């Protein structure tokens, strides 16, 4: 297969070739004044002339949109300058893995006043508010493993919970950083395996790990050595939060499948743990993987067979009730993060229902109380990014706020930032960006109050 036919280098995923900065962007509608901060979104964007062997191997590029008091002040995009990007440094060396040789292309978050670009097989990389690279961040030497791209910030304590996963022992290491950004707890998790662990969950009282049927396989030569295995059991690990939680971790068998992203988890009124999110079966994973590596037998988009599942774990009886709650192919679940770890009524996702790759995309809102599903249709040849929730000033309801999503428009060769009403999914404002933004992965809304923004 030639480079120009790799699916992750074509269509919505066509890389941009340079870094630009544009100011005073055109706005249609009215931007809510409380949207004062930065929408930052990460994704894989290899340098011109580079064809990675796997979508996940492409260099990280962060796109940023600066909003302030009803204006769209700037757009800029910057590659994350890691040793892998600047020098082509390999991940594996004679001394073992180089945790700084990262793509840093999966996610970007703020914690303790730092912007961190994340990739689950490496250290995070710190960026300035203007998206210039500062360098690898190892939490003052206390981070001794890779760091997941999906840490969870407790909305009550401000603590950041995260893990490092490895195909070799210790397979799973759990960390807690305080609100200032200092690691205060580290523990190796007993009973974990080499199963791929991309995401996890926290509740108010527990940490929840998910091991699916995708596990380390040295025969996979795409550069990401993982594959589906019927011999790898699918399990959920439940551990009490706190210093001695590892002594009480319990693993529960579940039906075969693989979950990349968690919607949420919480304890219900009976003390049971409820976990939800999109999953794929063996065939769904095969289609996704073949898209990621550019193999011929694939759908035209990743995650073309995805089912939202719910697990209810009864710690007293030692049982798990599992059900499919929606069969629409979705990914990138998000929610009002004030409800992270607590019972939520709403969550959001992006739909990928059209296997032709040219339509059917939308922003989905789920009402877990009524079972209703509402979709904001993106339009023909328009692909929205992960929808980031931002609460409105004085919000009184869970869905009183906004969804921010960047749309890739193939027909117009352009992109816009859409600000949607999170209640009804109507468009409140559209910010026209100076270029079509490559479809990417995850991002965050960073209010000015959470960063040192003296540089503008």
With beta carbons less than 8 A apart as the criterion, state whether 45 and 281 touch: no
pLDDT band at 165 (very low <50, low <70, confident <90, very high): very high
**Pairwise CA distance, residues 331 & 348, whole Å:** 9
| Mean pLDDT of the region 1-14 | 79
pLDDT of residue 360: 81
For tokens 């069969």, the residue is: 327
pLDDT reported for residue 427: 98
Write the pLDDT tens digit of every residue in 256-315. Answer: 999 999 999 999 999 999 999 999 999 999 989 999 999 887 555 555 567 899 999 999
Asked if pLDDT for residue 92 goes beyond 80, the answer is no
Asked if 187 contacts 209 with a C-beta cutoff of 8 angstroms, the reply is: no
Q: What is the mean pLDDT of residues 331-349?
A: 98
Mean pLDDT value of segment 338-361 = 83
Per-residue pLDDT for 86 more than 50?
Answer: yes
The pLDDT value recorded for residue 88 is: 78
Q: Which range, of 19-33, 93-107, 326-340, averages the lowest pLDDT? A: 93-107
Contact 284, 333 (CB under 8 A): no
**Which H, E and C letters describe the chain, residue by residue?**
CCHHHCHHHCHHHCCCCCCCEEECCCEEECCCCCCCEEEEEEEECCCCCCCCCCHHHCCEEEEEEEEECCEEEEEEEEECCCHHHHCCCCCEECCEECCCCCCCCCEEEEECCEEEEECCCCCCEEECCCCCEEEECCCCCCCCCCCCCCCEECCCCCCEEEEEECCCCCCEEEEEECCCCCEEEEEECCCCCCECCCCEEECCCEEEEEECCEEECCCCCCCCCEEECCCCCCEEEEEECCCCHHHHCEEEECCCCEECCCCEEEECCCCCEEEEEEEECHHHHHHHHHHHHCCCCCCCCCCCCCEEEEEEEECCCCEEEEEEEECCCEEEEECCHHHCCCCCCEEEEEECCCCCCCCCCEEEEEECCCCCEEEEECCCCEEECCCEEEECCCCCCCCCEEEEEEEEECCCCEEEEEEEECCCCCEEEEEECCCCCCCCCCEEEEEHHHCCCCCC
Q: How far apart are CA 39 and CA 369, in angstroms?
A: 30
Q: What is the pLDDT of residue 353?
A: 72
Asked if the bond preceding 61 is cis, omega within 30° of 0, the reply is no
Per-residue confidence (pLDDT) for residue 455, from 0 to 100: 41
pLDDT tens digits, one per residue of 409-441: 999 999 999 999 999 999 999 999 999 999 999
From CA 389, how far away is CA 391, in angstroms rounded?
Answer: 7
pLDDT above 80: residue 346: yes
What's the pLDDT at 297?
Answer: 72
Predicted local distance difference test score (pLDDT) of residue 354:
54
Residues facing 108 on adjacent strands: 117
Contact 91, 82 (CB under 8 A): no
Higher pLDDT, 455 or 245: 245
Cα distance between residue 102 and residue 108, in whole Å: 14
Q: Which of these, 386, 442, 451, 437, lies nearest to 78 by C-alpha position?
A: 437
Say whether pLDDT at 203 is over 50: yes
Instruction: Write the pLDDT tens digit of every residue in 363-378.
Output: 999 999 999 999 999 9
| Cα–Cα distance for residue pair 341/262, rounded to 1 Å | 11
Judge whether 213 and 234 are in contact, CB under 8 Å.
Answer: yes
Q: Are 186 and 178 in contact (CB under 8 A)?
A: no
pTM over 0.85: yes
If you average pLDDT over residues 175-193, what whole number do you get?
A: 97
Evaluate if residue 450 carries a pLDDT over 90. no
State the average pLDDT for the chain: 93
pLDDT, tens only, 218-257? 999 899 999 999 999 999 999 999 989 999 999 999 999 9
Q: Which residue has the tokens 């409800």?
A: 339
Res 302: pLDDT: 52
The pLDDT of 100-115, averaged and rounded, is 96
């Amino acid at each position: 297969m030639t480079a120009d036919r790799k699916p992750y280098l074509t269509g919505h995923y066509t890389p941009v070739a340079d870094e630009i900065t544009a100011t005073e962007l055109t706005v249609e509608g009215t931007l809510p004044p409380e949207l004062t901060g930065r929408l930052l979104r990460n994704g894989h964007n290899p340098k011109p002339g580079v064809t990675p062997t796997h979508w996940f191997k492409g260099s990280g590029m962060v796109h940023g949109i600066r909003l302030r008091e009803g204006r769209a002040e700037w757009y800029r995009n910057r590659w994350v300058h890691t040793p892998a990007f600047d020098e082509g440094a390999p991940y594996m060396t004679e001394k073992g893995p180089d945790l700084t040789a990262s793509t840093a292309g999966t996610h970007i978050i703020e914690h303790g006043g730092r912007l961190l670009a994340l990739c689950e097989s490496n250290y995070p990389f710190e960026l300035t508010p203007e998206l210039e690279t500062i360098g690898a961040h190892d939490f003052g030497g206390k981070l001794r493993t890779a760091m997941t791209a999906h840490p969870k910030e407790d909305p009550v304590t401000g603590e950041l919970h995260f893990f490092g996963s490895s195909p070799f022992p210790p397979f799973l290491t759990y960390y807690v950083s305080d609100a200032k950004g200092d690691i205060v707890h580290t523990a190796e998790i007993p009973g974990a395996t080499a199963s791929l662990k991309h995401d996890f969950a926290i509740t108010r009282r527990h940490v929840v790990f998910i091991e699916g049927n995708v596990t380390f396989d040295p025969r996979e030569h795409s550069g990401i050595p993982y594959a589906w295995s019927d011999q790898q059991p699918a399990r959920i690990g439940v551990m009490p939060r706190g210093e001695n939680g590892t002594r009480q971790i319990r693993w529960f068998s579940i039906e075969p499948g693989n979950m990349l992203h968690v919607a949420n988890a919480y304890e219900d009124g009976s003390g049971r743990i409820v976990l939800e999110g999109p999953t794929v079966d063996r065939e769904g994973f095969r289609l996704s993987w073949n898209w990621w590596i550019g193999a011929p037998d694939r759908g035209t988009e990743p995650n073309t067979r995805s089912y939202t599942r719910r697990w209810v774990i009864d710690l007293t009886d030692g049982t798990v009730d599992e059900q499919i709650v929606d069969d629409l192919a979705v990914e990138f679940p998000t929610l009002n993060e004030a409800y992270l770890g607590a019972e939520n009524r709403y969550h959001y996702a992006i739909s990928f229902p059209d296997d032709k790759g040219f339509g059917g995309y939308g922003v989905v809102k789920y009402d877990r109380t009524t079972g209703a599903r509402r979709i904001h249709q993106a339009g023909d040849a328009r692909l929205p990014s992960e929808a980031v929730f931002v609460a409105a000033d004085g919000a009184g309801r869970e869905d009183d706020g906004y969804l921010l999503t960047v749309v890739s428009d193939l027909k117009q060769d352009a992109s816009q930032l859409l600000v949607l009403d999170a209640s009804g999914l109507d468009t409140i404002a559209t910010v026209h960006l100076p270029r079509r933004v490559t479809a990417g992965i995850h991002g965050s809304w960073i209010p000015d109050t959470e960063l040192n923004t003296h540089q503008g």
